[in-house]
Amino acid sequence: MKIVDFKIYEVKPRWIFVKVITDEGINGWGEMISGTKTETVIAGAYEIGKRTLIGRNPFEIERLFQEMHRSFFRGGPIQGTIVSGFEMALWDIKGKALNVPVWELLGGKARDRIKVYSWIGGDRPDDVVNQAQDRVDRGFDSIKMNATEELHYIDSFKKIDAVIKRVSALREKFGMDLNIGIDFHGRVHKAMAKVLASELEQFRPMFLEEVVLPENEDSFKTIASITSTPLATGERLYTRWGFKNIFNEGVIDIIQPDVALVGGINELKKIASTAEALDMAVAPHAPYGPIALAATLQIDTCTPNVFIQEQSLGIHYNKGFDLLDFVDNQEIFHYKNGYVDIPTEPGLGIKLNEDLIEEVSKEKLNWTNPSWKHYDGTIAEW
């Protein structure tokens, strides 16, 4: 079997799908992250794909990963997501060719079902109680919310009080029956992160995520010293080398690698295995489209230290289309009592509506991340 071609699709509102085509009619799907650099990702994907994949054996996944990754200037989110998308598609081909789910090729089941959580509240969190009730009514017992709107280096305690009020309302309504993850989203600087982490401990959160930006990782130790709440990070890191400092510091409790950024399925598995050796949990990041989520469920199935999985259904960024619109076998994303079933179909287990993908991709993406400013006009982290 050889790779003969690939196609890249821009899919509204914010997804990049890639289809890798073989001479035996077995095709694989992968997904890349658009962010605010859609055209750059697509141009890079054509360059890397044409140079590395055409004419090659799609079963040689590790070899092809190494060739795509090991350029002189390597790493970074652009190359990371390009490699990830192609790598996912190679696993999809291999699983389909051998008629087994990808998790069977990665060691087999480590669990019988996968626990999931749902995101609520929006970027500037609001109406969290009603949204949490909606998730509970749909069978979830775990949610994640952004902690706060943007915060300056030193900011008003009025904003801190607003955070406490929101989380307190959730605890008053649901008690300890609802697991609450709280995401700082890197928009909080060290001084205010210390305040928030300390104030939130009374509510016993499931975890605190990205309490500071990953480039300020030296501050994780400071935050960890003032709270017993598990700390999580990793959605903006790529490859196992990007996680080395996190592993060496030993203060993060939960890593959150993203299969569409770190380098793909095998790379995420390697990262998770290292974390297991260091007694760290994994909660993979997956807020994007259906292919990345399907790929992540494959890893969850065979990775014992994954304790919960983010799911991206109904996320408010997906205006115009939801990820289910492009999926024919929607039952693979059916959530019940806070869990999703183990995928059983070959490859990534997802059957896509290619006609709709072709139609939607005729219109270019115009997705861009929000752009925020502080009260004084300085740039705020989103």
Catalytic residue set: 185, 285
Report, in angstroms and rounded to the nearest whole number, the Rg of the chain calculated over CA atoms.
20
Closest CA to 166 of 189, 195, 144: 144
Closest CA to 349 of 87, 102, 58, 31: 102
Phi (first) and psi of residue 374, to 5 degrees: -75, 175
Q: Which residues have CB under 8 Å from 362's CB, separation 6+?
A: none
Alpha carbon distance 238, 76 (integer Å): 7
Alpha carbon distance 310, 313 (integer Å): 10
Residue 90 CA, distance from chain mean position? 19
Alpha carbon distance 29, 329 (integer Å): 15
Q: Which residues have CB under 8 Å from 66's CB, separation 6+?
A: none
Alpha carbon distance 324, 367 (integer Å): 19
